[in-house]
Structure 1
Amino acid sequence: MEAYLLKTGRFKREEHIKRPADIQRLFKTGKRVSVYGAKLFYMRNELDFNRIGFPIPRGYGNAVQRNASKRYSRETYRLFKTHLNTGYDILFFVYPGNDTFHSRCEIFKTLCQKAGLLKDCEISL
């Protein structure tokens, strides 16, 4: 069985970034890394766990496409969260066109490596 298919727990309510002020703070003052089709905004928080949000850009298709994109992103994070350093607020921003689960996992892994958020372990997809 491939590593990303292993069960890693659920995506808890306190791990969501919900307040618009928190999202705006990340966009304005957070560090950012990008690859073709996606950006990752991140900054340290004062917590023992990560919080994450999945903003969707304007014009990202219809409601079905937006919801599918958020589902892919949430599942990607859920599978990677045990491999991430803790204590960060993260926004995972994906542009239209990268809408397969496998490509989403590859993009998230690359962004986390660039940001230095991955623990020193080998993740194979």
Structure 2
Amino acid sequence: MRRSPTSLSRDERLRRRGDIRSLFVAGKSVSGGAMRLVYRSNDLNTSRLLITLRKKFGTAVERNRARRLVKEAYRNQKYGIRSGYDIAFVVYRKGMSYAETAEALISLLKQTGLYEN
């Protein structure tokens, strides 16, 4: 099966409940106006991504669009991001454009020191 250009490989997604729980319990956090970044070292060669939304985010269309925008912004910047971390983005603000999403994502990554570009 051929992957679409916006998909992440199986190894790049944070999926196990225990890993997600330990990220939110023991991870470090940085907040911006639109989203929050939680990160933790994972002792792997790749970084793993989780995108989640605050409660009562809106309709399913708005939730899916927000996830797609963050995923695309991450995919376009992932070669400038340090590997070996579990990263979770918690999106707070709905209705953001791609440019706003990418700017918020890069800003948070720079604050944490995970962005090398």
Cross-structure match for 2:28 = 31
**What is the CA deviation profile of residues 23-78 of structure 1, one whole-angstrom value per residue up to 9, with x for unaligned ones?**
12111110011111211000101110100100111101011111101100110110
Cross-structure match for 1:110 = 107
Query: Given that residues 98 and 104 in structure 1 are in contact (C-alpha distance below 8 angstroms), is that contact kept between their aligned partners in structure 2?
Result: no
Structure 2 distance, partners of 1:37, 1:9, is 22
CA gap 1:10/1:82 in 2 versus in 1, 3 angstroms: farther
Q: CA deviation at 1:18?
A: 1.0
1:19 aligns with 2:16: yes
1:52 aligns with 2:41: no
Cross-structure match for 1:76 = 73
**3-state secondary structure, aligned to 2:21:** helix
Cross-structure match for 2:85 = 88
Gaps of 5+ in 2: none
**3-state secondary structure, aligned to 1:55:** strand
Structure 1 distance, partners of 2:35, 2:98, is 14
The AA in structure 2 aligned to 1:95 is Y
Query: Given that residues 26 and 41 in structure 1 are in contact (C-alpha distance below 8 angstroms), is that contact kept between their aligned partners in structure 2?
Result: yes
Gaps of 5+ in 1: 1-7
Structure 2 distance, partners of 1:100, 1:54, is 17
Q: CA deviation at 1:9?
A: 7.9
**3-state secondary structure, aligned to 1:14:** helix
Query: Given that residues 37 and 98 in structure 1 are in contact (C-alpha distance below 8 angstroms), is that contact kept between their aligned partners in structure 2?
Result: no
1:42 aligns with 2:39: yes
Query: Given that residues 30 and 42 in structure 1 are in contact (C-alpha distance below 8 angstroms), is that contact kept between their aligned partners in structure 2?
Result: yes
CA gap 1:10/1:80 in 2 versus in 1, 3 angstroms: same
Q: Identity rate of aligned residues, in percent?
A: 33
Q: TM-score, normalised by structure 2?
A: 0.90
